[in-house]
A = this chain, B = another copy of it.
């Protein structure tokens, strides 16, 4: 029992060749019904499990996908991972996880995962990779094996799955406008990040489209962290001419913002309406509950996995989808109020 049985063992029990056993398992329609049943029984009694290493070697596939996160500790990614994992496992693939920071620090290179046959492809959730790393990924043999999700890299041809960042942002601004706000500010993400850029551009566009007042100091720089929200709150407090509503680039930032405001005895939404982006699990439980733009992270993950596998399994199919956009929706809660 301690030793797992091999194809040979099953073949011996069933009185057939290993080829036949293999066929029963992978191409059942090539085998006659009688032997199929006999072999299936033999598989059953011997508790046979295919040896993945052997299969992977022979088929030249790893049957696994690497998911790269900028940071394992960010709860934003959990639902995306769940979606990826779900659709990968349905197709018999395993999910490897690594953080780009850790890979970089350890001196490994990302392409090694593909080159040494540990993974067939990778889903990258980090748009902030070094230009050097990006260019190493562009090598022809790999470009079809990589997909960006959530974030992406401008001016590259990697396929990607993303949320409707622009539409979501504009919906946020329009909502704040609809409930009476005319002075609307924005806590942006980290300089150079594609998400922050997309959202910031859309924000400015919509402000202009609605003919609202613009002040350079109402665009408060931040990143995606709680701490950035706190800093931004201090910046808001220090303003002469304060916006009555702030659109934050992420829920974490919004929470940090509100948290600092409350420490300084300002009230949300009485003194200022605050909204976020993402609609992470906690948004609903926060005090006050956070108005936000919901990203369907589970769907985003599932879509990413499915798209990548499709591309892996027919690499030459030029007709394959190159980009998928996942709808977002406005979720109104207590952190915003009519003016």
Contact = CB atoms under 8 A, between A and B. Distances in A.
A168 to B, nearest CB: 21
A1 B115 CA distance: 11
A75 B75 contact: yes
A86 B138 CA distance: 27
A270 interface: no
A282 B282 CA distance: 10
A73 B64 contact: no
Contacts of A86: 102
Contacts of A255: 282, 285
A108 interface: yes
Interface stretch (A35-43, A49-57, A170-178, A240-248): A49-57
B139 A1 contact: yes
Nearest to A60: B53
A285 B96 CA distance: 31
Contacts of A116: 49-52
A262 B268 CA distance: 14
Interface in A132-157: 139-141
B53 A57 contact: yes
A306 interface: no
A17 interface: no
Contact of A117 (B53, B79, B139): B53
A79 B52 CA distance: 30
Interface string A298-324: 000000000000000000000000000
A282 B226 contact: yes
Given A118-B52, A281-B73, A64 B96 contact: yes
A72 B81 contact: yes
B89 A98 contact: yes
Interface in A273-288: 281-282, 285-287
Q: How large is the interface on A (under 10, 10 to 19, 20 to 34, 35 or more residues)?
A: 35 or more
A232 to B, nearest CB: 13
A159 interface: no
State how many copies of this chain the complex holds.
2
A90 to B, nearest CB: 7
A112 B256 contact: no
A73 B280 CA distance: 10
A97 interface: yes
A274 to B, nearest CB: 13
A95 to B, nearest CB: 6
A82 interface: yes
B85 A102 contact: yes
A78 B285 CA distance: 20
A94 interface: yes
A193 interface: no
B72 A99 contact: no
A72 B96 contact: no
A107 to B, nearest CB: 10
A287 B285 contact: no
Interface string A67-104: 00000111100110110011001100011111100110
Interface of A: 1-4, 47, 49-54, 56-57, 60, 62, 64, 72-75, 78-79, 81-82, 85-86, 89-90, 94-99, 102-103, 106, 108, 112, 115-118, 139-141, 226, 230, 255-256, 258-259, 262-263, 281-282, 285-287
